[in-house]
Structure 1
Amino acid sequence: MQLIPVLDVRDGIVVRGVAGERSRYQPVTSRLTTSARPLEVARSLRDTFDTRALYVADLDGLEHSQPDRDLHRTLSADGFELLLDSGVRGPDDAVVALESGAKNIVIPLETWTSADALGSLVARAGADRLVFSLDLKAGRPLSGAGDWDGMTAEAIARDVVAAGLRSLIVLDLAGVGVDGGVPTLPLCRAIRSKFPDVQVITGGGVRGRGDLQALAAAGIDGVLVASALHNGRVTPEDVAAVQAQSSAE
């Protein structure tokens, strides 16, 4: 199971996500660095956890359709393998995001409304660099008024897989930053059971090694972590132990 550190970025500052209440996000405080600047925070995570993987939630893009392309390019040029969530809303947005140097881009349920457009994007750009984010809040899909409005999370996952995508993020914003455990684990197990060939990534609420072990045992491919890295509840030793467990299994 891969550790994927998370940067939530707004107005050029890394902020700490809490329960998806974005208006209340404040600059991150960390044991790893005194800075809240994205490049410095990203480097501190790379140096501590020996990973180039980085999930970037560009809140300016998600909330206001004003993604920070310069930041994306800066992080990519510094060697980070970005999983970039910049709030793409259609195929043209997605293609521009792909040109920023990100290794993979996220198609978020909260901003993407058309099932047909998803299929068109896969045909246009291929599935290899696309990851669909099944965004939830307190267990309910954040589907807005789009084609998936009123559908269950599992039904949306079925449509996404049918469109040709092979990577899914399952993330409940209500669990982010509250140290309550990962609420999406049952849903991840259900998706893994129905679609065994699909890569499943989750996160939100990781408290420590025990949560990582539970995710690894469930066959999760990647875990998104932010607060637990900065406050020391997840250490490099924890990550190494869980990765060794995954390899042994």
Structure 2
Amino acid sequence: MKLIPVIDLMQGQVVRAVRGNRQAYRPIESQLCPGSAPVAMAQALCEHCATRQLYVADLDALLGRPAQVAALRSLLQAIPGLELWLDAGFASRADADALQREVDADPWVPVFGSESLASRDELQRCFAGRPDAGVLSLDRRDGQKMDLAGCWEAPALWPERVIVMTLERVGAGTGPDLQTLAEVRSKSPSTFMVGAGGIRNAADLEAARIAGAGAWLVASALHDGGLPRQRD
């Protein structure tokens, strides 16, 4: 099971995500690194997880404010070879391409969230002819799919990698939502499934692996010491 560490950026600092209530997030406090500076926290997380993959949620952009271009550029410049997955509330492939040009650094992987995509047509444009050109996040909160574009019911349009994001379990310490993961996986068994939300410890990770997840997005369990340092 691969761990993909997560940082949530708000106004230039890393914050602690809890249950998807973005307006209430506060600066992170972590056992891995003092302070909430993005570069230092990203370096600590990647080292702890023995990875060069990092998921970044730009909460400013997700809340309708300008993307944090300077912070994103700093991350890409500070960590050589970083594969940065970025969710910045993209409504379309054109939005992601425009931000890529603005950041003007090493390429990163756009995450297209079902809560943000404008339409089924935009979903098709995101990955048409290039299923490895990004990641789709299937988002839900409190049992409700966040999906005006109908992404959940269009597995033929999904890319090679799909995140199953259960927002009410993010930072909540309630365990992973393996039932939803299994339901999504049944629609497209060959898709690489990435879970998000709820992981507390190594036992949760093993249960997620058995349920069919190839990787899991993790933050709180790393900051709180629930997951040991990974080895290369």
How much does 1:102 deviate?
4.3
2:89 is equivalent to residue 87 of structure 1: yes
Indicate if the aligned counterparts of 2:91 and 2:122 stay in contact, CA closer than 8 A. no
Distance in 2 of aligned mates of 1:30 and 1:139: 30
Distance 1:46 1:201, change over 3 A: same
Indicate if the aligned counterparts of 2:162 and 2:194 stay in contact, CA closer than 8 A. yes
**Residues 132-181 of structure 1, C-alpha deviations (whole Å, 9 max, x = no match):** 111110121112xx343xxxxxxx3341x322522211111110111010
2:127 is equivalent to residue 113 of structure 1: no
2:170 is equivalent to residue 165 of structure 1: no
**Residues 23-79 of structure 1, C-alpha deviations (whole Å, 9 max, x = no match):** 111000011111201001001112222211100000011111411122222212222
Distance 1:102 1:206, change over 3 A: farther
Give the aligned partner of residue 175 of structure 1.
169
Indicate if the aligned counterparts of 2:117 and 2:149 stay in contact, CA closer than 8 A. no
Give the aligned partner of residue 225 of structure 2.
232
Distance in 2 of aligned mates of 1:147 and 1:200: 20
Distance 1:102 1:223, change over 3 A: farther
- Which letter does structure 2 place at the counterpart of 1:231? D
Q: Equivalences for 1:20-39 in 2 at 5 Å?
A: 20-39=20-39
Please give the secondary structure, in 2, of the residue aligned with 1:64.
coil
Distance in 1 of aligned mates of 2:91 and 2:149: 13
How much does 1:94 deviate?
1.8
Indicate if the aligned counterparts of 1:7 and 1:14 stay in contact, CA closer than 8 A. yes
- Unmatched tracts of structure 1, length 5 or more: 149-155, 244-249
Please give the secondary structure, in 1, of the residue aligned with 2:117.
coil
Give the aligned partner of residue 197 of structure 2.
204
Give the aligned partner of residue 53 of structure 1.
53
- Give RMSD over aligned pairs: 1.8
Give the aligned partner of residue 72 of structure 2.
72
- Which letter does structure 2 place at the counterpart of 1:157? W
2:15 is equivalent to residue 15 of structure 1: yes
Distance 1:111 1:176, change over 3 A: same
Give the aligned partner of residue 104 of structure 1.
109
How much does 1:21 deviate?
1.0
Indicate if the aligned counterparts of 2:199 and 2:205 stay in contact, CA closer than 8 A. yes
How much does 1:216 deviate?
1.0
Which residue, 137, 141, 155 being the options, matches 2:141?
137
How much does 1:222 deviate?
1.0
- Alignment identity in percent? 35
Distance in 2 of aligned mates of 1:141 and 1:64: 20
Distance in 2 of aligned mates of 1:113 and 1:213: 35
**Residues 114-147 of structure 1, C-alpha deviations (whole Å, 9 max, x = no match):** 00112123237x221211111110121112xx34
Please give the secondary structure, in 2, of the residue aligned with 1:6.
strand
How much does 1:98 deviate?
4.3
Q: TM-score, normalised by structure 2?
A: 0.91
Distance in 1 of aligned mates of 2:21 and 2:12: 19
Please give the secondary structure, in 1, of the residue aligned with 2:63.
helix
How much does 1:196 deviate?
1.4
Distance in 1 of aligned mates of 2:10 and 2:17: 11
2:206 is equivalent to residue 213 of structure 1: yes
Indicate if the aligned counterparts of 1:86 and 1:97 stay in contact, CA closer than 8 A. no
Aligned residues: 227
Give the aligned partner of residue 44 of structure 1.
44
- Unmatched tracts of structure 2, length 5 or more: none
- Which letter does structure 1 place at the counterpart of 2:175? G
